[in-house]
Amino acid sequence: MPDELKAHYDVVCVGGAMMGSSVAYWLSENPDFDGQVLVVEPDWTYESAQTTRAQNSIRAQFTNPLNIRLSQFGMDFIEHFHQSVAVDGESPEINFRGTGYLFLADDDDEFERLRAESVDQLDAGADVTMLRPAQLAERFPYLDVSQVAGGRLGGLREGSFDGWALFQGIRRRAVHNGVTFVRDAVVGLDVDAGRVRTVRLASGRAVESGWVVNTAGCRARDIAAMAGLDLPVEPRARTSFVFDCRRPIDALVPLTITPAGVHFRREQHHYMCGAVPDPDVAVDAADLDARDAEFEDLIWPVLARYVPQFDEVRVVTSWGGQYDFNTLDHNVVIGSADEVENFLFANGFSGHGLQQGPAVGRAIAELITYGEYRTIDLTPLGYHRISTGTPIIEHGVI
């Protein structure tokens, strides 16, 4: 990787994990774009990026149709992953496992809410089925359905994959295509007459840039502030646990979400789970500690209630992570702010950015190349809803 940088780049991505790499990938794959792309990333281990701390799952069951379309594109991308990212015929193994997601309802009101959402999901092309307790028990005999009113099950295009492979495949191909990744950090943006002119780096270097894309994950608000813009995205702690079960389940285990927000799925020979902490508040961006007490306090009682076999489990490992949580409406903020026209956001994924990475990177590349979205019109998810305070709520945040 070069120490020498050019004086000018057509595009600079601030952050080089999933989103920065995806923007770089799509630009460099597009024959209509012939510019120079620089991706600035301080942490080449990606140890503190959300991208490497995620639970690596993909679903169509969102309540916002745009989120459904973004993830459907992610599903297609995963399906054709090898052809899309191969370098010299090689690509990382994506290991997709189709299991579906299962949203459980404890009472009839909750069941009817899931059913109402399923109407829009089916309209958007998602494969979802409403199941009553007897049908749940038939498909998932390990579930105790005595206190359950039913559930909504997604098809086998929903499931989990190797998130590191997804990111690395995209990054590797972008490098192969000629994108420059530099190990450095953005520390300042010089804005003049409504445009970012110069990107200043921690090393003391500075480059001029045609476009600047904010792909800094949980630190996106700091980067926006450098351009004089406010972004209501804050780091929220999320702890992941992997556990063993003394009596393993001999059946398909979809990614199951209880009404209390506890979720679990199979992870190879173990199970993986997490929950929304209480209280769910902003934390320091450097605080990646696991909240280990959550397992006994919040998660395990819920697991054992729905799956009696989970009354005997052992935590194998846990790790801390953060969501880049959009406090306005839990959806991505994408595109430019009118005040600084060449500064583009790709932030605020609130826990579903890995699966949306391929589609969002492509959308940003279209904006830069053509001045408009060509495949999925993401205008409703733009910054104007932040500046005007008009949320587009996503209810399906896990």
Which parts of this chain interact with ligand FAD (CB under 6 A)? 14-15, 17-20, 40-43, 46, 49-51, 53-57, 185-186, 215-219, 238, 240, 321-323, 349, 351-355
Strands (E), 132-269: 150-154, 159-160, 180-182, 186-192, 195-201, 206-214, 233-245, 255-257, 263-267
Q: Which one, 35 or 42, has the nearer CB to ligand FAD?
A: 42
Q: Which one, 57 or 61, has the nearer CB to ligand FAD?
A: 57
**SS3 string of 98-143?**
ECCEEEEECCHHHHHHHHHHHHHHHHCCCCEEEECHHHHHHHCCCC
Q: Which amino acid is at 204?
A: G
Q: Which one, 149 or 276, has the nearer CB to ligand FAD?
A: 276
Whether the bond into 279 is cis, omega within 30 of 0? yes
Half-sphere exposure of 383 (CA within 13 A, CB side): 19
Half-sphere exposure of 325 (CA within 13 A, CB side): 18
Q: Shortest Cβ distance from residue 20 to ligand FAD (Å)?
A: 6
Q: Which one, 9 or 111, has the nearer CB to ligand FAD?
A: 9
CB atoms within 10 A of CB 333: 27
| Exposed/middle/buried for residue 80 (C-beta within 10 Å: 0-12, 13-18, 19+) | exposed
Q: Angle at Cα 209 formed by Cα 86 and Cα 364, nearest 5°? A: 50
Q: Which one, 151 or 351, has the nearer CB to ligand FAD?
A: 351
Q: Shortest Cβ distance from residue 132 to ligand FAD (Å)?
A: 27
Give 310's DSSP letter. Answer: G
Q: Shortest Cβ distance from residue 39 to ligand FAD (Å)?
A: 9
Q: Shortest Cβ distance from residue 221 to ligand FAD (Å)?
A: 10
**SS3 string of 353-397?**
HHHHHHHHHHHHHHHHHHCCCCCCCCHHHCCHHHHCCCCCCCCCC
Q: Which of 305, 310, 268, 297 is nearest to 95 (CA)?
A: 268
Q: Which one, 150 or 155, has the nearer CB to ligand FAD?
A: 155
Q: Which one, 111 or 266, has the nearer CB to ligand FAD?
A: 266
**Could you tell me the CA-to-CA distances from 68 to 64, 126, 158, 266, 343 in Å, in that order?**
7, 8, 11, 23, 26
Q: Angle at Cα 263 formed by Cα 259 and Cα 266, nearest 5°? A: 145
Q: Shortest Cβ distance from residue 45 to ligand FAD (Å)?
A: 9
Q: Which one, 118 or 331, has the nearer CB to ligand FAD?
A: 331
Backbone angles phi and psi of 135, in degrees to 5 = -70, -35
Shortest-Cβ-distance residue relative to ligand FAD: 353
Q: Which one, 131 or 283, has the nearer CB to ligand FAD?
A: 283
228 CA to centre of own chain: 26
Q: Which one, 23 or 143, has the nearer CB to ligand FAD?
A: 23
Q: Shortest Cβ distance from residue 166 to ligand FAD (Å)?
A: 9
- 322 forms beta bridges with 237
CA separation for the pair 247, 394 (Å, rounded): 36
Q: Shortest Cβ distance from residue 355 to ligand FAD (Å)?
A: 3
